[in-house]
Amino acid sequence: MINVTYPEFLANTLKLNHEDFEHEIKVSALVKLYELGKLSSGVAAKVLGISRLDFLELLHLYQVSVIGNNDVNDIREDYNNA
């Protein structure tokens, strides 16, 4: 587990309660790591406790391409983690 300290006004600015803000930070971080090619969609989905398909659908909300800059090895890893 990783704890992140942030000022309370940040969650308030987004009109989120503490739990929803923490979830948003977690999802945002995983989506960004996927976008940067640091994480497969399968691993990100596993961390979030959702299906890979649900994670791929979530990418649309963050305006991140499902295809991204994946090479063949990344696609194989996603397939194996699905």
The Cα 74–Cα 67 span in angstroms is 10
Instruction: Give the pLDDT score at 71.
Output: 60
What confidence tens digit (pLDDT) does each residue in 37-71 have? Answer: 999 999 999 999 999 999 999 999 999 988 765 56
**Which pTM was predicted?**
0.77
Can you read off the two tokens belonging to residue 60? 């649309």
d(CA 56, CA 35): 11
Question: How many angstroms from the chain centroid is the CA of residue 10?
Answer: 20
Angle in degrees, 0-180, between the axes of helices 52-61 and 41-48, rounded to the nearest 10: 100
10 Å Cβ neighbour count for 44?
A: 24
